[in-house]
Amino acid sequence: PKKITSICCIGAGYVGGPTMAVMAQKNPDIKVTVVDLNKQRIADWNDSDLSKLPIFEPGLDQVVAEARGRNLFFSTNVDDAIREADMIFISVNTPTKTYGSGKGMAADLKYIELCARQIAQIATTDKIVVEKSTLPVKTAQAIKSILDHTGNGVKFQILSNPEFLAEGTAMTDLANPDRVLIGGEQTEEGLKAIQSLVDVYATWIPKAQILTTNIWSSELSKLVANAFLAQRVSSINAISELCEASGANVEEVAKAIGMDSRIGPKFLKASVGFGGSCFQKDILNLVYISKSLGLTEVADYWEQVIIMNNHQRDRFANNIVSTLYNTVSGKKIAFLGWAFKKDTNDTRESAAIYVADKLIDEQAQISVYDPKVTAVQMQADLNYLNTRSEAENENFVKTETDAYKALEGAHAIAVLTEWDEFKTYNWQRIYESMSKPAFVFDGRNVLDKTALEAIGFRVKAIGK
Ligand code: NAD
Ligand code: UDX
């Protein structure tokens, strides 16, 4: 197999940035160039002030500090990076389509296709093209068809190498993954290409954890892994509603079932609903593929995971309204957290956005504190829903950079993200500053319910 000396990654986002930083850190003899069309993003990746990196991930700054300028580079010059590389990772976004056939379900592959066309146009030497983005099964076929019609004699091998990192723990996930999955064509050339990529990972990952498969299994496994994970969250969230109605406690139930080694303890945390850029998009994609293949029952089965998640978010918002005597109009509702989970500044599909949208419909005055999310981002998230004018969103949602200020005078607090710092606040002081009765809706079960009730709060948690 060819020894890789130069890697290009197209897409400097939540996946491309951290993944390539670690790959460069562990392979000092490989030149790794991460490129993006977004000039500001690349400028931020190159900022000498590491607190300005475009994404927040614990530990990312140290790895960038170690490798950047040595063998890790961030650039907007896509053509040069393609030309120079033996191996090209495509790590661009693949959002749910917002137009045309498959709208609201299928993955939008236009950015992927643009990359393939650009590679086809620029390449003058043989390349291994790696799908790092999450893609519908059979996408490699389309990429191959675009690449193979360049007519300049350049040979391409296409691999699928989906990324399993979770945000907030990306650096430890990358340094120590459960497995790395590489799919490729089962031909002599395909197997050689697979081996070239195995060798890149083998500098830090034990061989036994590097799994190689055919390309369709690899593409599909990524969608299936996310579907299974999301399904666990929807399952426990469904049970949380049953717990609330029956007097059982969802944390006790989760513990009791999680100790069964066949079920396992992870991913059983009831919440206001899963968010993030992946779960919903990838399940919708799986549903769409199943429907396209005529597999109605399969599609319906997985779609239920999304239906339950939407229900959990709605239920949380409705519970706030009904508990506050059926009206929140003009009342101050304070949000703790806006990110879709702790330790990230990512807000894509965050439950907070949907809960806020519902409460704005009820004319609540929302005040938000999140340690990592900016006011500009929060407004952009709300405006993206297109429910009302930008001016109205601005009127109804105010962002505070001081948590105590956000909570002052509030009728109710809603915890939307499980940031650790929320547990350490002076809850007595917060209680004194609020309107009475002071309500807390803990959408993440992170606060000490008994301690808060002793102070005088009325607390509603998930599944208790
Ligand atoms: P992202 O939006 O953070 O980053 C994508 C980047 O690609 C953007 O900066 C965009 O400007 C750039 N881009 C788009 N088209 C381009 C082009 N033609 N040339 C150069 N740059 C271009 O997205 P992400 O979260 O990093 O996700 C990327 C892919 O990885 C998606 O398919 C996603 O499903 C998958 N994935 C994401 C995660 C996650 O946790 N975010 C985890 C696993 C897999
Ligand atoms: C997910 C997958 O875990 C990862 O393997 C894949 O590469 C990308 O998608 P991510 O979305 O970053 O990662 O975070 P994850 O930890 O999976 O959480 C997703 C959402 O589910 C979050 O909103 C989280 O709060 C929620 N969640 C997770 C729960 O509500 N309960 C749980 O028990 C676990």
Q: How far apart are CA 147 and CA 151, in angstroms?
A: 9
Q: How far is CA 384 from the centre of its chain?
A: 17
The verdict on the CB of residue 323 being under 6 Å from ligand 1 is: no
3-state helix, strand, coil in the chain (%, to 5): 45, 15, 40
> Which residues make up the CATH 3.40.50.720 domain(s) of the chain?
6-205, 222-464
Contacts of 16 (CB under 8 A, 6+ apart): 9, 10, 34, 36, 89, 91, 92, 132
The Cα 4–Cα 33 span in angstroms is 13
Q: Tell me which fold the domain 222-464 belongs to.
A: Rossmann fold (3.40.50)
**Which atom, in ligand 1's list, is nearest to the CA of 282?**
34
For the CA of 341, the nearest ligand: 2
- Residue 464 CA to residue 5 CA, distance in Å, equals 55
Q: Packing angle between helix 279-292 and helix 215-246, nearest 10 degrees?
A: 110
CA of 276 to the centre of ligand 2 (A): 7
Closest CA to 205 of 230, 224, 178: 178
How far is the C-alpha of 230 from the C-alpha of 283, rounded, in Å?
8
* Ligand with the closest atom to the CA of 337: 2
With a 6 Å cutoff on the Cβ, whether 347 touches ligand 2 is no
* Count of other CB atoms within 10 angstroms of residue 41: 21
Cα-to-centroid distance, 168 and ligand 2 (Å):
10
Model pTM score: 0.96
One-letter amino acid for residue 344 of the chain: T
Residue from 57, 91, 286 whose mutation best tests the ligand 1 pocket (most atoms within 8 A of CB): 91
Quick check: CB of 165 below 6 Å from ligand 2? yes
The whole-angstrom separation of Cα 309 and Cα 414 is 18
State phi, psi for 53 to the nearest 5 degrees: -50, 145
Cα 162 to Cα 180: distance, rounded to the nearest angstrom: 8
Binding site membership of 229 for ligand 2 (Cβ less than 6 Å): yes
Residue nearest to ligand 1 atom 43, measured at CA: 163
Q: Which residues are catalytic?
A: 278
Q: Taking the domain 6-205, which CATH number applies?
A: 3.40.50.720
Annotated binding-site residue? 281: yes
Please, are residues 190 and 216 in contact by the beta-carbon 8 Å criterion?
no
On whether ipTM exceeds 0.90, the answer is: yes
Q: Ligand 2: which atom is nearest the Cα of residue 346?
A: 12
3-class SS at 32?
A: strand
Ligand 2 centroid–CA 452 distance in Å is 28
What are the structure tokens assigned to 180, written together? 């790395």
Say if residue 164 carries a ligand binding annotation: yes
Q: Which strand ranges, in their side-by-side order, compose the sheet holding 365-369?
A: 397-399, 365-369, 332-336, 412-415, 439-442, 458-461
Report CA(15)–ligand 1 centroid distance (Å): 6
Per-residue confidence in pLDDT tens, the chain, 464 aa: 999 999 999 999 999 999 999 999 999 999 999 999 999 999 999 999 999 999 999 999 999 999 999 999 999 999 999 999 999 999 999 999 999 999 999 999 999 999 999 999 999 999 999 999 999 988 999 999 999 887 778 999 999 999 999 999 999 999 999 999 999 999 999 999 999 999 999 999 999 999 999 999 999 999 999 999 999 999 999 999 999 999 999 999 999 999 999 999 999 999 999 999 999 999 999 999 999 999 999 999 999 999 999 999 999 999 999 999 999 999 999 999 999 999 999 999 999 999 999 999 999 999 999 999 999 999 999 999 999 999 999 999 999 999 999 999 999 999 999 999 999 999 999 999 999 999 999 999 999 999 999 999 999 999 99
Asked if 432 and 400 touch (Cβ cutoff 8 Å), the reply is: no
Partners of 33 in the β-ladder: 8, 73
